[in-house]
Amino acid sequence: MHFSERYGLKPVKDVFQVGSMDEDLRNGLWNVLDLFCFGDRLRKMTSAYVVAESSVGELCDAIWIYFFNEPRDEMPTNCQRLHYELKKRYFHFKWHEVYAFLELVVANDERLDEQEFIHACKYMLKRELSGWRFVGKVIAPIINEVEIAEIEEALDQTTPLAGAKAHLSRALELLSDREDPDYRNSMKESISAVEAIAQMITGDPNATLGAALKKIDQSVELHPALNDGFMSIYGYASDADGIRHGSMEKSNLSFDDAKFMLVSCSAFVNYLIAKSQEAGIDLSDAQEST
């Protein structure tokens, strides 16, 4: 049974790991650090090898002085001991300190293969659904509090509206599947949630979203430009990579495409529900198609 069927949803912030970091993400980023920075250059050194003679000595100085804010003469001088100390501290960092640590490494390791390091970090961040990515040499959010609020509000608002709730829940589930994300069908489910609300507003459970949007202003007042804008999004969803028509060809859709559709559709669902309430329409009493 999919969680969209029982509505046992994780908070969206946890799904996208915006203000937190789970064990898999933390482990993955450490493995990147160890592979590119600390493995061969610290951990695999002989017990007699000192940090000052290693290729990572200047980076370790920067970490100890500027990140830990501790006296340099208290930094372990033995490579293996310092590797142990860095790893121990890393796994006690707060989630945002991990990202700051990655940024410091990029800025201070002159021997780092910067392009490959950032590429590896991006892969790990994407794989574990972090809400953050490297943009240049800075780690920035790709999903913000406003976007999260729209999704969470839409999930809450549609609780009594089984069909729309199921579509939104399934869209989030397909997007957040870390082993086999299905971006095409996530986008389909997102647009279907809007379609379900539009069907209820117009009283036509069989109408496509395009048909419903053409006559929706008979029930609620929508600005023509807004209506036209969402008609364009519907047109995109109907054509792009066979989202609405089940194309058998390999999809070129990405996480960013599916996230955009989920956030946009969540916002439009919230808007339509609010407009319906203003017009005195009780959507919970309306017939709904799932």
Predicted local confidence at residue 246, as pLDDT: 52
Structural domains of the chain sorted by starting position, each given as residue range(s) with its CATH number in brackets: 19-141 (no CATH), 145-285 (1.20.120)
Kindly report the average pLDDT of the chain as a whole number.
84
Measured CA distances, 288 to 117, 195, 268, 283, 285 (Å) = 50, 10, 17, 9, 9
What residue type is 239 in one-letter code?
D
Percent of the chain with pLDDT over 70: 89
Q: What is the rounded CA–CA span in Å between residue 42 and residue 173?
A: 41
Predicted local confidence at residue 244, as pLDDT: 55
Predicted local confidence at residue 49, as pLDDT: 66
pLDDT band at 3 (very low <50, low <70, confident <90, very high): very low
Number of helices and strands (H, E) in the chain? 13, 2
pLDDT at 8 over 60: no
- Convert the pLDDT of each residue in 215-259 to its tens digit: 887 788 888 888 788 888 888 777 655 565 555 455 678 888 899
